[in-house]
Amino acid sequence: MMSWLPENISLEGEEIDFLFYISYYLTVVVFVMVAAAMIYFLIKYRAKPGVKAKYMHGNNTLEILWTVIPTLILLVFVLMTQTSWAKLKLAIPQNPHVRVEVTGKQFNWIVRYPGDDKKFGTKDDLVLDNQLNVPVNKQLLISLKGTDVIHSFFIPHTRMKQDVVPGRTIPLWFTPTKVGKYEIPCAELCGFGHSGMNGEFIVHSEADYAKWRKKAWAEKDK
Amino acid sequence: MSETTADAHGAHDHHEGGFWSTYVFSLDHKMIARQFLWLGLIMMVVGGILALIFRWQLAWPETQVWGFEWISDESEGMPEGYVTPNFYNMAVTMHATIMVFLVVMPILVGCFGNFLIPLMIGARDMAFPVLNMLSFWVAVLGAVIMSAGFLVEGGHAAAGWTGYAPLSTIPEYTGVFMGQTLWALSLFVLSFSSLMGSINYITTLINMRTEGMTWFRVPLVVWSLFVTAILGLLALPILGSAAAMMIFDRVFETNFFNPAKGGEPLLWQHLFWYFGHPEVYILILPGMGIASELLPVYCRKPIFGYRAMVYAMLAIAFLSWIVWGHHMFQSGMNPALGSAFMMTTLVIAIPSAIKTFNWLGTLWGGSIRFTVPMLHALAFVILFVIGGLSGIFMASNVVDIYIHDTYFIVAHFHYVIFGGSVFALFGGIQHWFPKMFGRSMDEALGKVHFWLTFIFFNMVFFPMHILGVGGHMRRIYNPMQYEFLQGMQPINVIITLSALALGLSQIPFVFNFFATVFRWNAKWFRVLTQAVSALIVGFIGYKSAAVMFEGLMEPVPSTGGRIVGTIVFVALAVWIYRYLEKNMAPLGADAPQNPWDANTLEWVAPTPAPHGNFGPTLPVVQRGPYEYSVPGEEADWAPQTEPIDPALAEAGH
C-alpha cells in the first residue's frame, strides 16, 4: 500500500508520511489480530451436534482492558500528531524565503509573484495562470485567496492541501526538496470544470530559478 | 401505562380496513414499516444506477455508457450516452443524497424502527399512529420533490451531497437553477419526516414497554434505534434550518453564505457537519443494533457485555456532537480547533472498538449457525472494522492534510455505510422477513446473493484505499487529465468492472424478495430464477477469466481468452444452477412463528402479527433478551416471557 504514495518532495511531507506509516502499521496489526480471532472463532465454534454454547454474559476485566488499552494507544497517537500539526499549521513562518499569492478562480490557479520590492499589489508584480515557480530547498509561503467558490489547493507530491475560501486569506507553507515538474490539482468540487483544474508546480534549482525570474520579468515588461 | 394503551388499541382489533386504509394510509406500524422498506428499495435502484453511470465515466472516460446510446444528442446530460461534466457532478451528488436520505434512513430507521420497536417491547403500536403515517407520507413527498429535480431545466443539484456554499447557493457557479433549490426543499421536507419518526420512537419506548420490560431487558436493536431517534430529534432540525437558509439564499437573495455580500461560506459547513456527524451515527447505529441482535441468535449465546454495548451507544450519541470539525481540518477554520477535534474524534473511536470486541466475545464459545442473516452480521463486523480503522487515518489531522478529499475517504465511508449499514440491512431483512411478510426468504438464493455482494463489495471499495493513497481526488470527472493519476487507471477499471458485477449481484436478491412476497413458486419461475442466477455468476466468471488472461485494458478478448472464459462460464453456471436446484426451498411458503428459535418478543406474536400485535393480553417479560443456552433448560432458547431461575441469570455475569 505504501508504495502507492507518490514520491514525496517536501520537508513537511516527511512528517505527514511518517504519521501515515504509523497509522498504517497500527491499523494493519489491529486488523490482522481481529480478523484472525474472528476466523479462529468461526471455525472453532461452528455449530456441532450435541455441543451447547457457553452461557456467559461478559467479563468486566476484559471490558476494562479493551477500553483502557485502545485509549492509551490513541492518546499516544494524538500527542504525536499534535506536535506535527502545530509545526505544519500553527507556526506561520515570519521570514519565508519565497512568497507568492495564489487565487483560486473557476477553473484556474492565478499565481501572483512579487517583484524585487517583495510586495504584493505593486506594479512590478508578475501574474501567471496555473504556473507556480519556486526554488528548491527554500521555504515557500503561499497566501491562498478565493474569489468565487471554495477550491482546494493540492500538490500531491508535497502532501500539501489547503482549502481556498472566498473572502479569506489562508497561509500555506512548505519547503520543496527536489527539482522537477509536478501538478496542482483542485481537490474540492468547484463546478463543471473542477476536473482538469490543474496547475504546474515547477521546482527549479537555485540557478535556474534566478534565470527564470529574469526571463519572466523581461517577458512581462515587453 | 401499558394497560391503557392495550385497551385503547384493543378496540381497533376487529376493524376491517379497506384497501386505502390498509395499504396506503395505514396507521399500523407494521404496514408503515413495509412502506418505508419499499420506498428505500426502489430508491436504491435509482441510486445504484447513478453510481454505475459515473463509474463507467471514471473507468472509460468520455465514452458512450453502455445501454444509454439511444439518448438524443440534444440532451443536456448524456447526449448519445456520453456523460457531460455537469451530469457527472449531478450523478455523484444525487447518488449520495439518495443513498443517505432515501435508502439507508428509510430502511434502517423508518422500516426497522417502525417494525421492531413496538413488537420487541411488547406494545400494540406506536404512541402516535397518525404521526407515524404522516412521517411516511412526508417522506414520500420529500422523495417526489427530490425526484422532480431530475426533470427540471438545468439538471439536478450538482454541488456534491455536502452542498458546499457558495457553489450550491449561487446558481451561476454551477449552472443549476431549480434543481439545487428542489434538493434543499426536499431535505427540508425529509427532515420533518425524520423528526416525526423520532418523536414517535422516543415516546413509544419510554411509555409503552410492556410489564417486565425494564430498560436493561430492552433488546439492543431497540436501544440502537432509541439512541438513533434521539440523534435524529436533535440533528434533523439543524439540517432543515440549513436547507431553509440555502433556499433563502437562492430564492430570496439573502446572503447567509455569500462572502461577496458579507456572508460566511464556512457557516454552511459548520451547520452541515454539525448535523452531518450525528447523521453518520444515525446511519450506522441501527446497523450496529441489528448485528448485536443477530449474533446472539445465531451463536445461541447471550450477547457479550450487554451493558457495555448500551453504554457504548450512549457514549457515541453524546460524543457525536463534538466531532464535526474533523470534516473541516483543511477547510480554513482556525487550525487550533483541529487539535481539539482530533482528540474528540479518537475518543469516539473507543466506544466503537468496545462494541467490536464485544461482538468477537459473543462469537467466542458460541454454537455458530451460518444462516444468511448471520453471514450478513459477520460481514458487518469485519467490514465495520476495516471502515473504523481507515477512519484513524483521517482522524489524524496531519495525515488528513494529504488524504482529505481523496478516494481514501470514499473507501472509508463506503466500508461503513455499505459494508456496515447495507449489510446489516440485508441481514435484517432476511432475519425479520418471516415476521414482516409471513414467509421466509430462500436461504440458498440468499447465500448466492450474499457471497457475490461480499466479494464484489470488497473488489469495488478496497482498491479505493489505494487510489486515495496515490492522491486520486474524489469527484473528478476524468482522472486521465492528471499525469500523476494515469498510472493508476487500471485500478479504476477494476473498480468499475467490479461495480457492474456488484450491480448484477443484486438480481438474485430481487428474485428472492419478489418470489417470497408474492408466492411465485411455479416450476417455470423456479427454473428462471436458477437460470438467471447461474448466468450472472457465469458471466462474471467469464469476464474475470478474460481479464486475467488478457489484461484489463483489452476491450475484446482474443480466442484464448474466450476459450478460457467459456470454460469458466460453463463450470460456474452449472455449479450455481445445480446448487440452487438442489437447495432452493418452496418460494413463499408460510413461515413458522419463530423460525430462528429467537427469544425476543416479536417472535412471541403470531405470524403474521395482527393489528395490535399480541392478541387479547400483552406479553409479560420475565428475562433478558439474550438468554440462550441457559444451563438446566432443555431447549437452547426460551421466549422472554418464560421465567428464569434468578440465580442462573446472575451467575453468567
Distance to chain A for B269, nearest Cα, Å: 11
Mean pLDDT score of chain A, rounded to an integer?
Answer: 94
Subunit contact A56:B330, Cβ cutoff 8 A: no
Residue A129 and residue A208 in one domain: yes
What sign results for the dihedral spanned by CA atoms B491, B492, B497, B499?
A: positive
Residue A191 and residue A137 in one domain: yes
Cell numbers found for residue B183: 434538493
Tell me the pLDDT tens digit for each residue of A97-140: 999 999 999 999 999 999 988 899 898 999 999 999 999 999 99
Tell me the pLDDT tens digit for each residue of B38-70: 999 999 999 999 999 999 999 999 999 998 989
**Residue A222 pLDDT > 80:** no
Residue A187 and residue A121 in one domain: yes
Subunit contact B469:A1, Cβ cutoff 8 A: yes
Side by side, the strands of the sheet bearing A108-113 are: A126-129, A108-113, A98-105, A140-146, A169-174
CA A64 to CA B376: how far, in whole Å? 29
pTM: 0.95
Dihedral of the alpha carbons of B360, B424, B653, B368, in degrees to the nearest 10? -60
Cell numbers found for residue B43: 430508491
- Chain A residues touching B652 at Cβ < 8 A: 55-57
Residues 6+ apart with CB under 8 A from B13: B610, B611, B612
CA B626 to CA B294: how far, in whole Å? 10
Residue A118 and residue A208 in one domain: yes
φ, ψ dihedrals at B371, nearest 5°: -80, 170
Task: Identify which of B261, B48, B287, B66 has the alpha carbon closest to the alpha carbon of residue B165.
Answer: B261
The residue out of A63, A90, A117 marking a domain boundary is A90
Residue A29 and residue A117 in one domain: no
- Burial label for B44, CB within 10 Å (0-12, 13-18, 19+), is buried
Residue A106 and residue A131 in one domain: yes
Q: What pLDDT does residue B10 have?
A: 43
Q: Are the CB atoms for B35 and B143 separated by under 8 Å? A: no
Residue A72 and residue A123 in one domain: no
**Three-state secondary-structure class, residue B406:** strand
Task: Identify which of B293, B301, B300 has the alpha carbon closest to the alpha carbon of residue B428.
Answer: B293
Residue A102 and residue A85 in one domain: no
Q: How many A-B residue pairs are in contact by the CB < 8 A criterion?
A: 282
Subunit contact B366:A54, Cβ cutoff 8 A: yes
CA B197 to CA B114: how far, in whole Å? 8
Number of residues written out for chain A: 222
What is the count of structural domains for chain A? Answer: 2
Subunit contact B381:A38, Cβ cutoff 8 A: yes
Chain B within 8 Å of A168 (Cβ-Cβ)? yes
Residue A66 and residue A107 in one domain: no
CA A8 to CA A105: how far, in whole Å? 27
Chain B within 8 Å of A40 (Cβ-Cβ)? no
Interface of B with A in 217-276 (CB under 8 A): 259-260, 264-266
Distance to chain A for B373, nearest Cα, Å: 15
Q: What pLDDT does residue B2 have?
A: 41
Q: What pLDDT does residue B506 have?
A: 97
The residue out of A61, A90, A119 marking a domain boundary is A90
Q: Are the CB atoms for A52 and A117 separated by under 8 Å? A: no
Distance to chain A for B542, nearest Cα, Å: 29
Instruction: Output the domain CATH number for residue A49.
Output: 1.10.287.90
Subunit contact A189:B306, Cβ cutoff 8 A: no
Q: What pLDDT does residue B553 have?
A: 66
The domain of A195 spans: 98-221
Interface of A with B in 90-149 (CB under 8 A): 90, 106, 146, 148-149
Give the best residue of B402, B412, B494 to mutate against chain A (max A CB count within 10 A). Answer: B402
Instruction: Output the domain CATH number for residue A124.
Output: 2.60.40.420
Residue A128 and residue A204 in one domain: yes
**Residue A186 per-residue DSSP state:** B
- Chain A residues touching B85 at Cβ < 8 A: 192-195
Q: Are the CB atoms for B146 and B183 separated by under 8 Å? A: yes
Distance to chain A for B176, nearest Cα, Å: 10
Chain B within 8 Å of A51 (Cβ-Cβ)? yes
- Chain A residues touching B630 at Cβ < 8 A: 55
Distance to chain B for A53, nearest Cα, Å: 4
Q: Are the CB atoms for A77 and A25 separated by under 8 Å? A: no
Residue A115 and residue A207 in one domain: yes
**Three-state secondary-structure class, residue A131:** strand
CA B121 to CA B226: how far, in whole Å? 12
Chain A within 8 Å of B341 (Cβ-Cβ)? no
CA A52 to CA B89: how far, in whole Å? 55
The residue out of A51, A70, A90 marking a domain boundary is A90
Residue A115 and residue A54 in one domain: no
Left if phi > 0, otherwise alpha if psi is -120 to 50, otherwise beta: which for B401?
alpha
Task: Identify which of B395, B384, B412 has the alpha carbon closest to the alpha carbon of residue B338.
Answer: B395
Chain A within 8 Å of B158 (Cβ-Cβ)? yes
CB atoms within 10 A of CB A210: 12
Cell numbers found for residue B469: 493513497
Buried b (16+ CB within 10 A) or exposed e, B134-166: bbbebbebbbebbbebeeeebbbbbbbbbbbbb
DSSP secondary structure of A134-181: EETTS-EEEEEEESSS-EEEEEGGGTEEEEE-BT-EEEEEE-B-S-EE
Chain A within 8 Å of B564 (Cβ-Cβ)? no
Partner residue opposite A30 with nearest CB, options B88, B389, B477: B389
**Residue A28 pLDDT > 50:** yes
Q: What pLDDT does residue B556 have?
A: 67
Task: Identify which of B148, B178, B154, B144 has the alpha carbon closest to the alpha carbon of residue B87.
Answer: B154
Subunit contact A16:B399, Cβ cutoff 8 A: yes
CA B209 to CA B61: how far, in whole Å? 56
Low-confidence ranges of chain B (pLDDT < 50): 1-14, 652
Chain B within 8 Å of A76 (Cβ-Cβ)? no
